[in-house]
Amino acid sequence: MKVLVTGGAGYIGSHTVLALLQQDHQVVVFDNLCNASEVPLARIEAMTGKHIEFFRGDIRDVAALDAVFGAHQFDAVIHFAALKAVGESTQKPLAYYQTNVHGSVCLLEAMQRHQVTDFIFSSSATVYGELAIVPYLESMPLGSPSSPYGATKVMVERIMADYAAANPEFRGVSLRYFNPIGAHESGNLGEDPKGIPNNLLPYLAQVAVGRRTHLSVFGGDYPTQDGTCLRDYLHVMDLAEGHTAALNWLADHPQQRGIEAFNLGTGQGVSVLDIIAAFEQASGVPVPYEIAPRRAGDLAAFWANADKASTMLGWQAKRNLTQMMHDTWRWQSQNPSGYSEE
């Protein structure tokens, strides 16, 4: 199949591009590089010996979208491009609605103009909101996430549902990611956030490599076994393979219409202290940390029920916490400054 991947130069997008090429799909990447560079794409080409066509453009730029859809007949679109920093979204809500919501509408309109029906969307566990009971199940209603970022994911899921109701040809899949971490097992691809990392694993890995002095553990008094928050961490290559599974499921089900949501997680809750211990064990590097105040907006504990993806897509997370930590460390130690040295 020929697949348009928006945001394909980013963290999850680049790993998915690799998984798609490994399954002999053709890939065109569309990315404005606001949070990425072309280096991972060059590395993927070197790893696979396959060409990736790259368009530098913004998903809100209708002419740029028409150029790429005009140049290729796509079988499907996988839509990663978005702004994703939860804290920043409370400071710059309009930028988040502009890129994540308006940008998604521009993309769906371009698909409609060019008669492309198959759409896989990067959604998030945050769509369940703050009141949902764990483990999260796809049959639960969309909630009210506290951040503008989370609200954009709920809105795009609503837009997909409304569009599907009006356009009987549309075939949409929402993949609700839990906490993707880790890196490709080669150490060639990984997560390279700009500035101070917001997320746990990139911060921890930068402490381990000596770029930061210590990790602040946000909250030690949650009602969990060790007082720190529980999350459902999954390996980014498992997540990437969730996308190829969804793409293949759509292709194998030509009668499928409308939208379908799938949780992509392991089904296990793991604490921040568990993560630190697993990382130290895998890397052999001590990680200095201190217990700091809670971070606003954090929930104590959530994890997925991932049975639907297993039953319908035949997808299950295969890589364990030890492998996630080994691969995080391989990436960070081989690329202490991320992609910026090239």
Name which position in 218, 224, 251, 333 contacts ligand WQD (CB under 6 A).
218
Name which position in 12, 247, 259, 272 contacts ligand WQD (CB under 6 A).
272
Nearest residue to 232 (alpha-carbon basis) of 297, 304, 181, 183: 304
- The question of whether 149 is a catalytic residue gets the answer yes
Cβ proximity of 222 and 299 under 8 Å: no
- Interaction of residue 99 with ligand NAD, rule CB under 6 A: yes
Cβ proximity of 38 and 13 under 8 Å: no
Helix (H/G/I), strand (E/B), else coil: 12: helix
203 vs 315, which CB is nearer to ligand WQD? 203
- Say how far residue 5 (Cα) sits from the centre of its chain: 13
Nearest residue to 218 (alpha-carbon basis) of 208, 231, 233, 205: 231
Main-chain phi, psi angles of 121, to 5 degrees: -110, 135
Name which position in 5, 7, 268, 269 contacts ligand NAD (CB under 6 A).
7
Comparing every residue's Cβ against ligand NAD, the nearest one is 10
Minimum Å gap between C-beta 10 and ligand NAD is 2
Looking only at residues 58 through 77 of this chain, which bind ligand NAD when binding is defined by CB under 6 A?
A: 58-60
Give me the count of residues in the chain: 342
- Interaction of residue 199 with ligand WQD, rule CB under 6 A: yes
Alpha-carbon gap, residue 96 to 111, rounded angstroms: 22
Name which position in 6, 35, 104, 179 contacts ligand WQD (CB under 6 A).
179
81 vs 217, which CB is nearer to ligand NAD? 81
Alpha-carbon gap, residue 240 to 237, rounded angstroms: 5
Burial of 71 (0-12, 13-18, 19+ CB in 10 A): exposed
Annotated catalytic residue within 11, 96, 136, 149: 149
Helix (H/G/I), strand (E/B), else coil: 185: coil
Q: In what order do the strands lie in the sheet with 26-31?
A: 53-56, 26-31, 2-6, 76-79, 118-124, 171-177, 258-264
Q: Which does 7 bind (CB under 5 to 8 A by kind): ligand WQD, ligand NAD, none?
A: ligand NAD
- Interaction of residue 263 with ligand WQD, rule CB under 6 A: no
Name which position in 2, 33, 214, 334 contacts ligand NAD (CB under 6 A).
33
Q: How many residues bind ligand NAD (CB under 6 A)?
A: 28
- Interaction of residue 272 with ligand NAD, rule CB under 6 A: no
- Interaction of residue 269 with ligand NAD, rule CB under 6 A: no
- Interaction of residue 90 with ligand WQD, rule CB under 6 A: no
Main-chain phi, psi angles of 301, to 5 degrees: -160, 130
- Interaction of residue 229 with ligand WQD, rule CB under 6 A: yes
Sequence-ordered list of residues with C-beta below 8 angstroms from that of 242, at least 6 positions apart, any chain? 175, 262, 264, 309, 313, 315
The distance in angstroms from the start CA to the end CA of the chain is 31
Looking only at residues 107 through 166 of this chain, which bind ligand NAD when binding is defined by CB under 6 A?
A: 122, 124
Name which position in 295, 307, 308, 310 contacts ligand WQD (CB under 6 A).
295
Residues forming beta bridges with residue 55, ordered by sequence position: 30
Window contacting ligand NAD (CB under 6 A); options: 17-25, 78-86, 261-269, 276-284: 78-86
Window contacting ligand WQD (CB under 6 A); options: 23-31, 133-141, 194-202, 250-258: 194-202
Minimum Å gap between C-beta 149 and ligand WQD is 7
Q: How many residues bind ligand WQD (CB under 6 A)?
A: 18
